[in-house]
Amino acid sequence: MTKAEPALVVQGLCKSYPLPGGGRTAAVDDVSFSVAAGGSLGVVGESGSGKTTVARMLVGLVRPDAGTIAVNGRERTPGQRGGGKLPGLSRPGGGKAARLRRAREIQIVFQDPYVSLDPRLTARQCLQGALRLHGRYEGEAAATRVGELLDQVGLGKREADARPRGLSGGQRQRLAIARALAVDPQVLVLDEAVAALDVSIQAQILQLLADIRRETGVALVFVSHDLAVVRHITDDTLVMRRGRTVETGPTARVLDAPKDPYTRLLLSSVPREGWDPAETVRLRGELAGATRAD
C-alpha cells in the first residue's frame, strides 16, 4: 500500500438477493478495502464470486444492504438498510445535483462499450454530451476539452467523427474510457474492461490505463477474472470467493506467494508451460471438501 490518503474507502459492504425457491444468497458479504489516490486495486475471483456486484455498488447501480463507500472522506451510500457510518463523515444528500456529483466521483467502464455507448452519437458528440450533462465546460472550453480527451486516449480525427459501429472494439473502449475521464473522477472502476479484446489490443488498453493513472492520479479498481491482467495493472489485489474476501495484499505477494488455498486454485487454473489440468481439478476437489467440513 502507498502512504497517500485513500481516495476510496469501502467498509463492510453487503448485498444479498432472493433465491427463486425462498431464502437469499449473499452476493457480497462484508467486503472492505481502500485504494490510495493514484493507486490501483485488482478484484479477482471466479464467475459468481461477487466482483461485478461490488463494482455496481461502487457506482450506485446496486444499492448495498449494508456498509459504506467513501470517496476522499465523503460517504456516498445514501439510504442503505442497516449501513454503518464512518466516524466524521457527512451523509450524502439526494437530488439531481448530488447524484451528478457522486457520478463525477466514481466512473465505470464496462466490458462491452457497444452496450453503453449511444449508437447515434459520434465520439465527439458522446464526449460533448458527458461534459454538458455535468456542466463542466462550455463553448470553446468544451471543444478544447473534447480534443484533449480524444488525444489522451489516442483517438484521431477520423475516430472523433465516427459512430460506435465505425470504431473497432479497442477504439470503442478508448472512447468509453475518455467519456469516464471527462468528469475528472477520483476513482475509475473497470469491470472486465479488456476481457472482450484481442490480447494485443488488451495490452494497448492496459498501457493506456497505466499512463492515465500516472498522468491524472485517478485511482483504479480493476475487476477481472484474468490474473495476468491484474498482475500488469494493479498494486494490490483482493481475492473474492462466494461474496467474501479470502485474501488481500500487494499484487506480487498475492500472486507469487498466495496464502489462501482458493487463490492457489485460481493461479493453478491458468494454462502455462507444463500445466496439468488434473492438478487444478484435484485442488478444486480438496477445496470443496475443506469448505464442506467448515
| Complex with ligand ATP: residue 43 or 255, whichever CB lies closer | 43
Contacts of 279 (CB under 8 A, 6+ apart): 268
| Complex with ligand ATP: residue 182 or 266, whichever CB lies closer | 266
Q: Minimum distance between the CB of residue 239 and ligand ATP, rounded to whole angstroms?
A: 11
| Complex with ligand ATP: residue 50 or 67, whichever CB lies closer | 50
In contact, 7 and 71? CB cutoff 8 Å: yes
Radius of gyration of the chain, Cα coordinates, nearest whole angstrom:
20
Helices (H) and strands (E) in the chain, counts: 12, 10
CA 62 to chain centre: 14
| Complex with ligand ATP: residue 110 or 181, whichever CB lies closer | 110
Dihedral angle computed from the Cα positions of residues 267, 268, 271 and 276, in that order, rounded to the nearest 10 degrees: 170
Q: Minimum distance between the CB of residue 2 and ligand ATP, rounded to whole angstroms?
A: 27
Q: Minimum distance between the CB of residue 240 and ligand ATP, rounded to whole angstroms?
A: 7
**Nearest to 154, CA basis, from 123, 200, 185:** 123
Residue 22: all three cell numbers together: 425462498
Q: Minimum distance between the CB of residue 199 and ligand ATP, rounded to whole angstroms?
A: 19
67 DSSP 8-state letter: E
| Complex with ligand ATP: residue 155 or 227, whichever CB lies closer | 227
| Complex with ligand ATP: residue 99 or 225, whichever CB lies closer | 225
Q: Minimum distance between the CB of residue 94 and ligand ATP, rounded to whole angstroms?
A: 23
Q: Which residue has the cell 480527451?
A: 149
Binding site for ligand ATP (CB under 6 A): 17, 25, 27, 45, 47-53, 225
Q: What b/e sequence results for 197-213 when a residue is b if at least 16 CB atoms lie within 10 Å of its CB, and e otherwise? A: beeebbebbbebbeebb
Q: Which residue has the cell 459501429?
A: 165
Q: Minimum distance between the CB of residue 99 and ligand ATP, rounded to whole angstroms?
A: 21
